[in-house]
């Protein structure tokens, strides 16, 4: 295995991704969420970037590591789960300032920062650079675009909130990752079409987002997922936090049935409302455990909610429920009378971190 950067790899691979949909209002979260399927469409992944990734795969890779924070890094969690049964190399996720020791020069490090200025990501990316790891960055600009322009790089269109840009980032990170591990690239145009069809059935195959928003209004949703629904549960928690300005949490089955299940009081409604995320083709052991846990929570008066994804493939089921729960967060924001776009406290935190006095 070699760490040498040849001429092809040293040329800056910067491109402007297709523009965000012209009809999308960047000041309106409902508009951005409604355009989720459109933003996912990526019929032509950059051939130079894909070629470099395939070269890396042929040379040999010990592991794949995603760096990022918040709405940018959730993409890495989805990709890790989508590829978990196909990848012959470990896939790691780092959301802190420090790069684990095992991420060496023979790993691929994919740094994702929509703004390009995420402090934690830039710091851990600096560690990867020091170790000589093979680096690829995905950003809309900022410090990352400037400092790492000599590495393979994808520049995406800017303007959306990072959490709303999730489908745009996924449409780049997924084909890159598939090329790195040597599997067929997913047809995201078809996935986008499936999402549009699925959203038209809201209210038939699954409750309207406004109905679920009403059920969790003035409660604290606990999104519960298993296997590839776990990152969907985490994403839903984050969307309620940022868009709805409300408390929310997430957990995973089977782990939650070994501890969390004992934390709820009996015969008392309480403030928590469990929301189970289900999908087609669940593992039989997982399915049985989810069913029993749901019934136990129902018996103690928690009034849990069951949400079933739409679609038979892993990626269809994950993204159909992601799109749906994004809209639930917008509906809840409306009920709470808050601005789903603004993130005042996050902005204040960044301002204080930047203050050196």
What tokens does 254 get? 């089977």
Residues 249, 223: contact at Cβ < 8 Å? yes
Distance CA 224, CA 298 (A): 14
57, 215, 335, 350: which one is catalytic? 350
258, 262, 351, 356: which one is catalytic? 258
Is position 204 annotated as part of the catalytic site? no
Residue 45's CB is within 10 A of a number of other CB atoms, namely 19
Q: Quickly list H helices, 85-223.
A: 119-131, 142-147, 166-181, 188-199, 209-216
Helix (H, G, I), strand (E, B) or coil at 246: coil
What tokens does 73 get? 């890094």
Question: For the residues of 163-198, what is the DSSP string, one character each?
Answer: TTTHHHHHHHHHHHHHHHHT-PPP-HHHHHHHHHHH
81, 178, 242, 252: which one is catalytic? 242
Distance CA 252, CA 311 (A): 21
Is position 269 annotated as part of the catalytic site? no
Is position 350 annotated as part of the catalytic site? yes
Distance CA 82, CA 339 (A): 32
Q: Quickly list H helices, the chain.
A: 7-10, 29-34, 36-40, 47-59, 70-82, 119-131, 142-147, 166-181, 188-199, 209-216, 230-243, 284-299, 314-336, 344-354
Distance CA 217, CA 212 (A): 8
Which residues are catalytically annotated?
Answer: 242, 258, 350
């Amino acid at each position: 295995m070699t760490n040498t950067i040849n001429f092809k790899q040293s040329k800056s691979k910067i491109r402007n991704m297709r523009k965000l949909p012209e009809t999308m209002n960047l000041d309106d979260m409902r508009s951005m969420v409604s355009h989720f399927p459109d933003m996912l469409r990526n019929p032509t992944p950059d051939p130079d970037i894909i070629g470099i990734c395939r070269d890396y795969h042929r040379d040999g890779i010990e592991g794949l590591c995603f760096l990022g924070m918040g709405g940018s890094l959730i993409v890495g969690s989805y990709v890790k789960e989508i590829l978990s049964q196909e990848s012959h190399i470990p896939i790691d996720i780092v959301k802190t300032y420090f790069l684990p020791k095992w991420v060496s020069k023979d790993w691929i490090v994919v740094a994702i920062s929509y703004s390009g200025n995420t402090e934690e990501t830039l710091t851990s990316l600096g560690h990867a650079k020091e170790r000589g790891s093979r680096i690829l960055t995905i950003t809309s600009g900022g410090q990352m675009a400037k400092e790492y322009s000599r590495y393979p790089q994808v520049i995406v269109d800017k303007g959306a909130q990072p959490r709303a840009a999730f489908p745009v980032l996924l449409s780049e990170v997924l084909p890159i990752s598939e090329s790195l591990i040597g599997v067929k690239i997913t047809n995201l145009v078809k996935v986008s079409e499936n999402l549009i069809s699925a959203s038209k059935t809201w209210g038939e195959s699954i409750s309207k987002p406004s109905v679920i928003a009403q059920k969790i209004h003035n409660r604290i949703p606990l999104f519960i997922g298993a296997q590839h629904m776990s990152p969907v549960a985490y994403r839903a928690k984050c969307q309620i936090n940022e868009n709805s300005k409300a408390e929310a949490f997430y957990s995973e089955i089977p782990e939650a049935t070994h501890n969390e299940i004992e934390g709820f009081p009996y015969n008392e409604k309480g403030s928590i409302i469990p929301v189970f995320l289900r999908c087609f083709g669940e593992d039989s052991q997982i399915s049985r455990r989810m069913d029993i846990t749901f019934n136990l929570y129902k018996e103690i008066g928690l009034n849990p909610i069951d949400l079933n994804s739409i679609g038979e493939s892993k990626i269809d089921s994950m993204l159909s429920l992601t799109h749906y729960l994004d809209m639930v967060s917008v509906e809840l924001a409306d009920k709470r009378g808050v601005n789903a776009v603004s993130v005042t406290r996050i902005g204040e935190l960044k301002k204080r971190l930047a203050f050196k006095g």
